[in-house]
Amino acid sequence: MMSFLDYFKGKRKPTASVAKERLQIILAREHAAGSAEPDYLPALKREILEVVSKYVSVDKNAIQVNVERDDNCEILELNIALPEHKKELAASN
Amino acid sequence: MAKVIVVTSGKGGVGKTTTSASFATGLAMKGNKTVVIDFDVGLRNLDLIMGCERRVVYDFVNVLNNESSLKQALIKDRHTENLYILPASQTRDKDALTEEGVERILTELKESFDYIVCDSPAGIEKGALMALYFADEAIIVTNPEVSSVRDSDRILGILAAKSKRAIDGAEPIKEHLVITRYSPKRVEMGEMLSIDDVTDLLSIPLVGVIPESDSVLGASNSGVPVIHDIESDSGQAYADVVDRFMGVNLPLRFLSVEKKGLLSRIFGN
């Protein structure tokens, strides 16, 4: 916090260094996310869920899509957890 | 061989069009046959910055749709030899910018121009993607401010993943950073990201720093690219950008804080 006196002394917290730190963190995170997940993934996930939902009632969090990269191949891994008891599902919906 | 250069940033309002106008003008002033294309379909503004808004008859989309020839749509700049402007359309036609269409026009332009400067719209939608898709080199315009730096970083990711060069596995697009609206005084006070901060974060080579300056608004008011204002610091800084782009080694200028006397401190600027 900046004190009343600091204001008159012209002392301020150097916000530029705060900006740089925040950017370093967010850019690192976005780079990591960018390399792990191709940008078609969210749409792919949504569409697969739509198709599956036509036949089975599934929770929208029940689908997991992962892309793994090896040196010379990529593996697209799909996991859909189907509800165990239909009655329970009907009740919860 | 003609070079395609995209001027891009992700974020809006950072100075893409100002930079495109002055950079293209500077290239032409050096004797290079240069064309600058406005890719902001629906929100054309390059014509205003270049001062040719009343001479627009046909535009980029007309050429794409074969409603006019390229020759009919190109506007010859009144201030500078060797410089032509291809304005964007004012009517919103999202589907006009196709890969095939843009490629056809660029191929035709390559026959008669040395440099093709593509002024990208803000954002990462179709217009921005088409502006960068065929680029050989890119000028990334960034303000020393968090959202602009983040968006520039995002655009660098897109250049590296979605450009034609990236998709074809060709040599990557050569990137150049231009920092605009730089205020040495605020940097000294610790209120603004410094040049080193921005270059550390984006880690691409710096081609110039344009100081925050009243002359940029003056230039856009009168429709004359600021590089023509050779008295102004920003005009000179753009001239330096062009020199450095063409391989001249120049030190950065206009980065020191002007020391003010007591009277001007009291009575303001």
Gap between the Cα atoms of B60 and B85, Å rounded: 10
Contacts of B193 in chain A (CB under 8 A): 16, 19-20, 23
Number of C-beta neighbours around residue B251 at 10 A: 6
* Listed residue (B81, B72, B173) closest to B118, CA to CA: B173
Which of the four pLDDT bands, split at 50, 70 and 90, describes residue A53?
confident
Q: Is the pLDDT of residue A49 over 50?
A: yes
Q: Is the pTM of this model over 0.90?
A: no
The C-alpha of A11 sits at a distance from chain B's nearest C-alpha, in angstroms, of 9
CB contact under 8 A, A16 and B150: no
Contacts of B189 in chain A (CB under 8 A): 12, 14
Which of the four pLDDT bands, split at 50, 70 and 90, describes residue B259?
low
Q: What is the DSSP letter of B42?
A: T
The C-alpha of A85 sits at a distance from chain B's nearest C-alpha, in angstroms, of 44
Can you name the residues that pair with B117 across neighbouring β-strands? B5, B36
Contacts of A22 in chain B (CB under 8 A): 146
Asked whether the beta carbons of B150 and A26 are under 8 A apart, the reply is yes
pLDDT of res. A71: 66
Gap between the Cα atoms of B233 and B211, Å rounded: 7
Residues 63-82 of B with CB under 8 A from A: none
pLDDT digits (tens, 9 = 90+) for B146-156: 999 999 999 99
pLDDT digits (tens, 9 = 90+) for B20-49: 999 999 999 999 999 999 999 999 999 999
Q: Average pLDDT for residues A77-93, to the nearest whole number?
A: 65
Between A3 and B198, the more confident residue is B198
Q: Which residue has 């030899």 as its token pair?
A: B81
Sign of CA dihedral B17, B20, B23, B29: negative
Type and span of the H or E element at B8: strand B3-8
Asked whether the beta carbons of B186 and B157 are under 8 A apart, the reply is no
pLDDT of res. A50: 87
pLDDT of res. A56: 84
- Chain A interface, mutation test: which of B189, B195, B199, B265, most A Cβ atoms within 10 Å? B189
The C-alpha of A83 sits at a distance from chain B's nearest C-alpha, in angstroms, of 38
B124 touches chain A (CB under 8 A): no
Gap between the Cα atoms of B79 and B238, Å rounded: 17
Q: Is the pLDDT of residue A15 over 90?
A: yes
Q: Is the pLDDT of residue A28 over 60?
A: yes
**What percentage of chain A reaches a pLDDT higher than 90?**
15
**What percentage of chain B reaches a pLDDT higher than 90?**
91
CB contact under 8 A, B201 and A14: no
The C-alpha of B197 sits at a distance from chain A's nearest C-alpha, in angstroms, of 7
Token couple for B87: 């304005």
The C-alpha of A14 sits at a distance from chain B's nearest C-alpha, in angstroms, of 5
Gap between the Cα atoms of A57 and A63, Å rounded: 12
CB contact under 8 A, A26 and B150: yes
Residues 187-226 of B with CB under 8 A from A: 187, 189-194, 197, 200-201
Interface pTM (ipTM) of the complex? 0.86
How many C-alpha atoms does A51 have within 13 Å on its Cβ side? 6
Of the partner residues A15, A23, A34, the one whose CB lies closest to the CB of residue B149: A23
pLDDT of res. B261: 64
Can you name the residues that pair with B76 across neighbouring β-strands? B84
Q: Which residue has 């069009």 as its token pair?
A: B17
pLDDT of res. A12: 58
Gap between the Cα atoms of B216 and B49, Å rounded: 10
Q: Is the pLDDT of residue A93 over 50?
A: no
Q: Average pLDDT for residues B126-135, to the nearest whole number?
A: 96
pLDDT of res. A64: 80
pLDDT digits (tens, 9 = 90+) for B170-194: 999 999 999 999 999 999 999 999 9
Q: Mean pLDDT across chain B, nearest whole number?
A: 94
Nearest CA in chain A to B198: A20
Q: What is the DSSP letter of B257?
A: P
Backbone angles phi, psi at B232, to 5 degrees: -85, 150
Gap between the Cα atoms of A5 and B226, Å rounded: 42
Contacts of A15 in chain B (CB under 8 A): 190-191
**What percentage of chain B reaches a pLDDT higher than 70?**
95
pLDDT digits (tens, 9 = 90+) for B58-105: 999 999 999 999 999 999 999 999 999 999 998 877 678 999 999 999
Query: Where would I find the H helices in chain B?
Result: 16-29, 46-50, 60-64, 70-73, 99-112, 126-133, 146-162, 164-168, 184-188, 195-202, 214-222, 233-245, 262-267
